Amino acid sequence: MKFKGKLKQTLPKGTFIRTIGDLKQKTIISDSHSNTNTTDKNKQSLALIEGDLISYQVNNNFILHGGKTKELVDFQVLATAKKSLCITILLAGKLDFGYDDLNFFYDATQQQRGVVVSLTKPVSFRRTLYKDNQVAKLNIILLHQWIEHRIRCDDNFSHFISQHLANFELQLTTEILYLTTNIIESSTPSTAIEQIHLESLTQQLLLKVLMQLNDAASVIKQLENTSLINESKGYDPVLDKLVSYIEANLYMDLSVSDLAKFSAMSISSLQHKFKSSLGISVLGYIRRRRLNIAKQQLEAGLMSISEAAYNAGYRHPSNFTSAFKKAFGIPPQDLIVKTDHA
């Protein structure tokens, strides 16, 4: 499927969108769309998307939209997004969307993607549809009432929430992919038990996402509050984009040469800028971040030491234990013991 760069300029557009169909099989249609080939008097309903859709809302809490769908036409959906925290996870297909001037284009045939976007005020939302594009995705919209009741001024991610259009690339862990798939494959609940089950899955997914966001926000906060970022040492803003890229891809093999290409720098220049600005080497930063994540997973009782070691990039648990003890002063076994006695 080819997406033409100039296609968006000539796409029909619509703002009045509604859904028809039964609990699972649904069709999204536009009742009012503009097209250069039609007049206002000739406007008709237009089918946009069809498939297994899930749509669910808990008042003053969260809204779910997602499913496995097929886009029927080339079209641009226009809407207003409320003040909220928006989580988008794409498992299959292509997704082209944006908030005001913040734009995303994801292709899950290359890599499954996820992003969290903070909206501190209403914005214009755009999503571009492409005929025959088959998509599996999930959107969770956390309403601001829910956020305000849970955020504390000293929370690590409160700074993120307070920034309009702040965005964070998710690391799609096995747990996040499993929960997302289960939610997408659920029907819109029709009984109390089905409602509780769907809400439970969503709460589990939110916990994984917000823990990851909190961890990344904690690192940023540490960097801001210590001498690791020191303008007098020549901090280069290009590292902001690089660090965000590293955070989003910690589960992948990251070589210095690949990161240098991403940053459009030579390897020696990248190493020098990273060391002088952050006080640590590129690979040292990656190792420490993976160990931090492993520590959180062990503390939460989410996995064994062997699993945590593998996820952190260590093929031998003994090497992981040595690195962990050097970083945190205790062996990982101590965290397992504490969890068992908690």
pTM, entire model: 0.61
Domain locations along the chain: 7-188, 222-341
Q: What is the pLDDT of residues 96-149, one digit of tens each?
A: 999 988 889 999 988 899 999 999 888 888 899 999 999 999 999 998 777 777
Q: For 274-320, list the strands marked E by DSSP.
A: none
CA gap 62, 70 in Å, rounded: 25
Residues 53, 112: Cα–Cα separation, whole Å: 19
Three-state secondary-structure class, residue 282? helix
Architecture of domain 7-188: Sandwich (2.60)
Report residue 322's pLDDT band, with 50, 70 and 90 as the boundaries. very high
Structure-model confidence comparison of residues 13 and 188, the more confident one? 188
Note whether 104 and 39 are within 8 A (CB): no
Give me the mean pLDDT over the 170-176 stretch. Answer: 91
> 140, 210 in Cβ contact below 8 A?
no
Q: Which CATH class is domain 222-341?
A: mainly alpha
What is the average pLDDT across 305-330? 88
Structure tokens at 307: 């699993």
Q: How far is CA 45 from the centre of its chain?
A: 33
pLDDT in tens, 211-269: 888 777 655 555 444 434 444 344 455 676 787 788 777 878 889 999 999 888 899 99
Which of 77, 75, 176, 90 shows the shortest CA–CA distance to 135?
Answer: 90
Q: CA-to-CA distance for 298 and 339, rounded, in angstroms?
A: 8
What mean pLDDT is predicted for residues 60-85? 88
Say how many C-beta atoms besides its own lie within 10 A of residue 319's C-beta: 13
User: By C-alpha distance, which of 279, 278, 285, 207 is closest to 246?
Assistant: 285
Q: Which H, E and C letters describe 11-64, residue by residue?
A: CCEEEEEEEEECCCEEEEEEEEEECCCCCHHHCCCEEEEEEEEEEEEECCCEEE
